[in-house]
Amino acid sequence: MPTKLLAGLDVLVVEDESLLRKQITAHLESLGADVTGAGTLQAARQSLKAFGFDLVLLDVNLPDGRGTSLLEAKEFGPNCGVIVMTAEGGVTGAVEAMRLGALDYLVKPFDVAELPLVIARARKSKQAARLDEHRRQSEGGESLFFGASLAAVQQQLDKIIAADRRVREQLPPVLIEGETGTGKTTIARWLHQQGPRADRPLVEVNCPALPETLAESELFGHERGAFTDARTARMGLFEAADGGTLFLDELPSLSAGLQAKVLKAIEDHRIRRLGGTREIPIDVRVIAATNKNLKELVSAGLFREDLYHRLDLFRVQIPPLRLRGDDVLNLAELLLERLCRRHRVPLKAIGPEGRRRLASYPWPGNVRELAHELERAVVFEDGAELNFGNLHGAVSTPMPPAEDGWFNPNFRFPDQGFDLERAIRRLIEHALQQTGNNVSAAARVLGVTRDYLRYRLAEQKPAGDREDNSADS
What gap in Å lies between CA 119 and CA 456, rounded to an integer? 61
Is position 381 within any domain? yes
Q: Is the pLDDT score of 23 beyond 70?
A: yes
One domain for residues 10 and 61: yes
Is position 88 within any domain? yes
One domain for residues 7 and 79: yes
List all residues 6 or more positions away from 252 whose beta carbon is below 8 Å from its beta carbon: 290, 292, 294, 297, 302, 303
Q: Is the pLDDT score of 14 beyond 90?
A: yes
One domain for residues 160 and 72: no
Alpha helices in 229-382 (DSSP H): 237-240, 256-268, 294-299, 305-311, 327-343, 352-360, 366-380
Nearest to 314 by CA among 469, 467, 164: 164
Q: What is the DSSP letter of 200?
A: S
Q: Which CATH number goes with the domain that contains 23?
A: 3.40.50.2300
Q: Which CATH number goes with the domain that contains 242?
A: 3.40.50.300
Q: Is the pLDDT score of 76 beyond 80?
A: yes
Q: What is the structure's pLDDT at 44?
A: 94
Nearest to 280 by CA among 30, 2, 9: 9
One domain for residues 157 and 293: yes
Whether residue 63 is preceded by a cis peptide bond, meaning omega within 30 degrees of 0, is: no
Please identify, among 344, 361, 386, the residue that sits at the C-terminal boundary of a domain.
386
Is position 402 within any domain? no
One domain for residues 288 and 335: no
What gap in Å lies between CA 186 and CA 425, rounded to an integer? 27
Q: What is the structure's pLDDT at 411?
A: 60
Q: Which residue range is the domain that position 350 belongs to? A: 321-386
Per-residue pLDDT reduced to its tens digit, 192-240:
989 999 888 899 999 999 988 889 999 999 888 888 877 788 889 999 9
Is position 409 within any domain? no
One domain for residues 167 and 180: yes
Per-residue pLDDT reduced to its tens digit, 402-420:
445 556 555 667 767 777 8
Q: Which CATH number goes with the domain that contains 374?
A: 1.10.8.60
Is position 395 within any domain? no
Instruction: Report the percent of the chain where pLDDT is more than 70.
Output: 86
The number of distinct structural domains making up the chain is: 4
Neighbouring CB atoms inside 10 A of 218's CB total 19
Q: For the residues 35-43, what does the mean pLDDT come to?
A: 94
Q: For the residues 63-81, what does the mean pLDDT come to?
A: 87
Q: Is the pLDDT score of 471 beyond 50?
A: no
Is position 403 within any domain? no
Chain Cα centroid distance, residue 355: 34
Q: Is the pLDDT score of 399 beyond 60?
A: no
Q: What is the DSSP letter of 438?
A: B
One domain for residues 116 and 191: no
Is position 248 within any domain? yes
One domain for residues 156 and 238: yes
One domain for residues 312 and 325: no
Is position 391 within any domain? no
Q: Is 0.75 surpassed by the pTM of this model? A: no
Max mean pLDDT range (51-55, 253-257, 462-466): 253-257
The alpha carbon torsion through 47, 48, 50, 52 (nearest 10 deg) reads 120
One domain for residues 366 and 437: no
Is residue 210 within 8 Å of residue 54, measured between CB atoms? no
Per-residue pLDDT reduced to its tens digit, 90-146:
667 777 788 788 888 888 888 898 898 888 888 777 777 666 656 544 444 344 677
Q: Which CATH number goes with the domain that contains 453?
A: 1.10.10
What gap in Å lies between CA 419 and CA 412, rounded to an integer? 13
Torsion angles phi and psi, residue 120, rounded to 5: -60, -40
In the chain, DSSP finds a helix count (H) and a strand count (E) of: 18, 16
One domain for residues 224 and 301: yes
Q: For the residues 176-180, what does the mean pLDDT come to?
A: 93
Please identify, among 135, 161, 185, the residue that sits at the C-terminal boundary of a domain.
135
Q: Where residue 466 falls among pLDDT bands split at 50, 70, 90?
A: very low
Is residue 44 within 8 Å of residue 14, measured between CB atoms? yes
What gap in Å lies between CA 315 and CA 294, rounded to an integer? 11
Q: Is the pLDDT score of 468 beyond 50?
A: no
Neighbouring CB atoms inside 10 A of 323's CB total 18
One domain for residues 331 and 303: no
Is residue 250 within 8 Å of residue 289, measured between CB atoms? yes
